[in-house]
């Protein structure tokens, strides 16, 4: 059943969402009705059989018929609920044949997506509308959870194993991805956007990768890449304390590193730090938790252009 987004459920953005919502609403009303009945009988009994002066309590004996009834009837309900829930679970667990496969790597604190072409993007992906997409998920460090509320899809990213989830998006536009498993300081900033686009735009994206928007200058593009690649979850731009060095006044800043060496923030340092964050760790940070990024030199140039303005 198609529902309007409400305080309980967000907009249905995939073909399987309605089925999940029907199950949810069924379990919800099932629980509401039975809670009302059970609490109702309890309240009635509390009032009706309360202690009163002059009335002696009569011990309750055994009632076989009643006991069989309250065992067998709920059993049917439970079996039905299990069957219904399992059916929907299986629909959402087994990907449709021919689904586009996207590798998802979770790492503190960003999502990396890899297409069958080998192209990798961070935090903002495109997928084609009305085509099944299967996400094969893994984690590089701790437990995370890949959660796409609009598609009613959620799957844990577990270190040391693969898990997967799939759906067919049926509405063009953005879908929000959250991390639904607490994974450390910037857990709440571990976000991504899935942009559902038409097939032509998706093919173009696969071929050309990410470039600046039409008319966007390098600084503006770099600024966009800063949030898009989730740099902002660990690097502030206002000098406030964050898990990584702030970008405020970063350009040309002298730094000393944990290995005792010193250097200055320039193009080569920035490039190396993005591609190999372990290489030089600023001494006030002891270790790095930053994952290596695979982004193009053009994108690095744009980020550098943006850094220079801070």
Q: Where do contacts with ligand CUA occur on this chain (CB under 6 A)?
A: 106, 109, 144, 179, 181-183, 187, 190
Cβ proximity to ligand CUA: between 99 and 143 the closer is 143
Q: How far is the CB of 121 from ligand CUA (least distance, A)?
A: 18
CA 304 – CA 34 distance, rounded (Å): 61
User: Beta partners for 145?
Assistant: 156
Q: How far is the CB of 292 from ligand CUA (least distance, A)?
A: 17
Query: What string of DSSP letters covers 279-296?
Result: S--BGGGSS--PPPP---
Cβ proximity to ligand CUA: between 88 and 137 the closer is 137
Question: CB–CB of 271/300 below 8 Å?
Answer: yes
Cβ proximity to ligand CUA: between 144 and 235 the closer is 144
Q: How far is the CB of 78 from ligand CUA (least distance, A)?
A: 33
User: Beta partners for 100?
Assistant: 133
Q: How far is the CB of 294 from ligand CUA (least distance, A)?
A: 19
Q: How far is the CB of 189 from ligand CUA (least distance, A)?
A: 9
Cβ proximity to ligand CUA: between 144 and 223 the closer is 144
Query: What string of DSSP letters covers 60-119?
Result: P---HHHHHHHHHHHHHHHHHHHHHHHHHHHHHHSPPTTPEEEEEEEETTEEEEE-TTS-
Secondary structure of the chain: what % helix, strand, coil (to 5)? Answer: 35, 20, 40
Q: How far is the CB of 181 from ligand CUA (least distance, A)?
A: 5
Question: Collapsing DSSP states into helix, strand and coil, what is residue 254?
Answer: strand
Cα angle 65, 66, 72 (rounded to 5 degrees) comes to 85
Question: What tokens were used for 158?
Answer: 């577990």
Question: Collapsing DSSP states into helix, strand and coil, what is residue 44?
Answer: helix
Q: Taking each helix axis from N to C terminus, what angle separates 267-275 and 297-308, rounded to the nearest 10 degrees? A: 130
Cβ proximity to ligand CUA: between 172 and 187 the closer is 187
Cβ proximity to ligand CUA: between 21 and 181 the closer is 181
Q: How far is the CB of 104 from ligand CUA (least distance, A)?
A: 12
Cβ proximity to ligand CUA: between 164 and 186 the closer is 186
CA 310 – CA 305 distance, rounded (Å): 10
């Amino acid at each position: 059943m198609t529902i309007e987004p409400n305080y309980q459920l967000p907009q249905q953005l995939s073909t399987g969402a309605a089925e999940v919502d029907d199950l949810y609403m069924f379990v919800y009303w099932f629980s509401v009705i039975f809670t009302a009945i059970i609490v109702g009988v309890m309240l009635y009994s509390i009032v009706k059989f309360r202690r009163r002066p002059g009335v002696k309590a009569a011990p309750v004996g055994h009632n076989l018929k009643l006991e069989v009834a309250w065992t067998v009837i709920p059993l049917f309900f439970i079996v039905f609920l299990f069957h219904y829930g399992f059916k929907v679970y299986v629909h959402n667990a087994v990907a449709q044949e021919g689904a586009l496969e996207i590798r998802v790597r979770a790492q503190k604190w960003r999502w990396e997506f890899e297409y069958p072409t080998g192209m990798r993007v961070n935090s903002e992906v495109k997928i084609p509308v009305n085509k099944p997409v299967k996400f094969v998920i893994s984690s590089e460090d701790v437990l995370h959870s890949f959660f796409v509320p609009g598609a009613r899809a959620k799957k844990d990213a577990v270190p040391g194993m693969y898990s997967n989830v799939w759906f067919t998006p049926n509405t063009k536009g953005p879908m929000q991805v959250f991390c639904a498993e607490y994974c450390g300081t910037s857990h709440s900033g571990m976000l991504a956007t899935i942009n559902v686009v038409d097939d032509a735009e998706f093919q173009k994206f696969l071929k050309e990768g990410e470039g600046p928007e039409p008319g966007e200058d390098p600084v503006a593009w770099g600024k966009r890449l800063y949030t898009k690649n989730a740099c902002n979850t660990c690097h502030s731009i206002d000098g406030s304390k964050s898990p990584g060095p702030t970008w405020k006044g970063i350009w040309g800043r002298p730094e000393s590193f944990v290995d005792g060496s010193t250097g200055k923030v320039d193009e080569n340092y920035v490039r190396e730090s993005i591609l190999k964050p372990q290489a030089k760790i600023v001494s006030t940070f002891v270790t790095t938790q930053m994952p290596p990024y695979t982004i193009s030199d053009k994108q690095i140039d744009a980020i550098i252009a943006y850094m220079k303005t801070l």
